[in-house]
Every structure is written in structure tokens, then in C-alpha cells.
Amino acid sequence: MLNNNNYNNIFQIWMITLTFLVSLIIIIGGLTRLTDSGLSITEWELFKGILPPTNDKIWISYFESYKKIPQYILLNSDMTLDQFKYIFLWEYAHRLLARFIGIFFLIPFIFFVSINLINKKLFIQLILIFILILLQGVVGWFMVKSGLVENTSVSHYRLSIHLFIAFLILSSLVWTLHNVTINQEIKFFQFDLKNVSLKILLFFIFIQIILGALVSGLDAGRVYQSWPMMNGSYFPNDMSSNNFFNLNQPSVVQFFHRNIAYLIFLLSVYSGFVIFKNREVKQYKNFILFSLFILIQIILGISVLVSGSNIYLASMHQISSIFLVIAVLRLYHGSIRY
């Protein structure tokens, strides 16, 4: 995939660092949401907001802008300047890291292109990743705008798109890294029935990520805080045939999030059965690693529910999802490679 193997290690380090940075921004983004900090900066400030506020006058200016939006008027009217600084710095860190990721991608990319290191296929893949990074910035502001006029929080649909694109970027980086490491072009989309259970599993894991964002955006984890039943019933008591697919209703979203998790667990068990039945020895370690993160994710998910959506457990649940996606991509990559 690279035209010059002398730079292979440098390229891999670049990919690994980008993967780490994207993982970090997903974590910070999750904490920004959990601390209700995402609306603290009411302007996009693509260039202006690079430096943090340096004096009281600037702090007060930001605070006065925040006071004009519904979240402050309806929910935080008693907020002090020091309390505002806390939520502001979460959103500031999120935006600053986003800018850094864009720069850290672009400068090495230009260098590698200038020395003719990257072949045509890899060049196209990296361009697509960069487009996703730019799109993520636009979607991020599109999301913030949804909470500035009529709502006290951002649109849960836009939040889910924002998180989904972040995981697309992460997955693209991980897949590219695996290909470069073995110096082989393995296509992600394999339209055949080979290892079909893994493909279905991967699909539902990404669906679950979208549902997880919907749960977060609606604070759906704060309803029906019991497991395995939802207050003594399999179905939530406010769910009916008329609103079965109403993704604006927290109980419905939580119901689907729970049940997709059960489906993912069953698909994981079946995929493992197939791997060990067919004696795919080279896949054993990959599957065991993936299974470990599935179990961690399930335990954390249940813990978040019964703890009343404890912020630390909720953050760990999202962090675990990053490792889970990386592990299932490794497993899927191996299923095509071996």
C-alpha cells in the first residue's frame, strides 16, 4: 500500500496517534454531553476561539451570550460565572482537540503525498477520511445550533449523527492501519456470505452506537432504571402499537437499546461458535479479546441503568464502546484475511 517501505513505521505511528486522538475526542465529547456543557459556546468560532478566555471581560462576554439561550433561561438561571467556566472548558477542550485532529491529519498527509509515499488507492481512502473529519466539524455546529433557539439541549438525532461519524472516522483509521501493517489491501465491504454472522454483528454494533447516542440525547437512561425488567415488565408501560417506533420517546429508545444489546450478545456467541467449530486458530485471540469487551460493555451498561446514570459509569460505558469497535474490526479484518 505504501510506495516506500522505509516510511512504513512512521506512517503506522501517524495512524495509531490519529486513532488515539479520535478515541480521545469521542471520550471528551461524551463527557461534554454528560456534563451538559455542549451549548456553553454559542458561536462556531472556527478561528476566533482557538485561544481560551484570558480575562474577566472575555469570560463575562461568553457568559452573557450563554444567558440568551433557553438552556440558561429555563434550567440554569441561577448559574454563577465559576459554574459557567466549568461547562465552558469542557466544550472548549472538545473544539480545540477537533481543530488539532484536523491539522494533525492534514500536515503529515501533505508530506506523505509530496514524497510520493502513498499509492492511489490509499490516497483516495485518506481523502475520504479527511472529508469525514471536515464533515464532522460542520455536523458538530449543526448539532449545537439545534439547542440555541427553542430547545434546552441539542437534537438527539443530530447528536447520533455526530457520534456515528466519529466512529466512522475511527473505524476507517483502524482499518487503514490494519491494511498498512500487513501491506495488503483488504476491502471493508465484502458482498458475500462468508462470515455473514460477523458482518451482521458489526452492523448491529454500529446501530447500537446510534441508539446509544439517542439514549444520551434524550436522557433515556434516567427512565426505567431496573434490569432485566423495565419496572417489572419486559415492555415499558407507556409503549403501545401507536408509538412502538417513536424515537422521540425515551422509554422506546431505551427498550431498543436494551434489546439490540441482547441481539449483539447472541450474535457474538454464535460467531464464536462458528470460529471454534471451523478451527480458525488464528482468530481465537481476536475473538477472546472481543468477547472480553462485550462482557465489559454489558456489565457497564447494566451498571449505568441501576446506578441512576452515574456519570463515571456512563463515561466508562462509552470508553468501552471504543475498545469494542476496535476489537470487532480486528476480528472482522482477520476473518477476511485468514
Angle at 289 between CA 1 and CA 12, to 5 degrees: 25
* Among the ranges given (170-179, 213-222, 230-239), the one the predictor scored with the smallest mean pLDDT: 230-239
pLDDT at residue 216 is higher than 70:
yes
- Using DSSP, state whether 230 is helix, strand or coil: strand
Which helix H or strand E contains 284, and what residues bound it? helix 284-306
Q: Please, which residues have CB within 8 angstroms of residue 134's CB and are 6 or more apart in sequence?
A: 102
Are residues 15 and 166 in contact, defined by beta-carbon separation less than 8 angstroms? no
Tell me the sheet residues that pair with 126: none
Percent of the chain residues past pLDDT 70, beyond the cut: 99
**Torsion angle defined by CA atoms of residues 201, 217, 159 and 87, in that order, rounded to the nearest 10 degrees:** -130
- 22 and 98 in contact (C-beta within 8 Å)? no
pLDDT of residue 50: 87
Q: 144, 154 in Cβ contact below 8 A? A: yes
Give the mean pLDDT of the chain: 92
Neighbours of 232 (CB within 10 A): 8
Q: Is 233 left (phi over 0), alpha (psi -120 to 50) or beta?
A: beta
pLDDT single digits (tens) 89-112: 999 999 999 999 999 999 999 999
Confidence of residue 3 (pLDDT cuts 50, 70, 90): low
Q: How confident is the model over 209-223, as a mean pLDDT? A: 92
State mean pLDDT over 320-326: 97
In the chain, domain spans: 1-185, 186-338
C-alpha 265/C-alpha 335 separation (Å) is 19
For residue 207, pLDDT over 70 is answered with yes
From residue 168, how far is each of 162, 175, 177, 306, 326 by CA, in Å? Answer: 10, 10, 14, 30, 11
Question: pLDDT value at position 290?
Answer: 97
- pLDDT value, residue 231: 86
Check: CB of residue 300 under 8 Å from CB of residue 320. Answer: yes
pTM of the model: 0.94
Which residues, 6+ apart, have CB-to-CB distance to 74 below 8 Å? 152
**To which H or E segment does residue 182 belong?**
helix 156-182
pLDDT in tens, 149-205: 888 899 999 999 999 999 999 999 999 999 999 988 899 988 888 889 999 999 999
Predicted confidence at residue 66, as pLDDT, reads 94
223 touches 250 (CB < 8 A): yes
Q: What is the grid cell recorded at 54? A: 484570558
Burial class (CB in 10 A: 0-12, 13-18, 19+), 225: middle
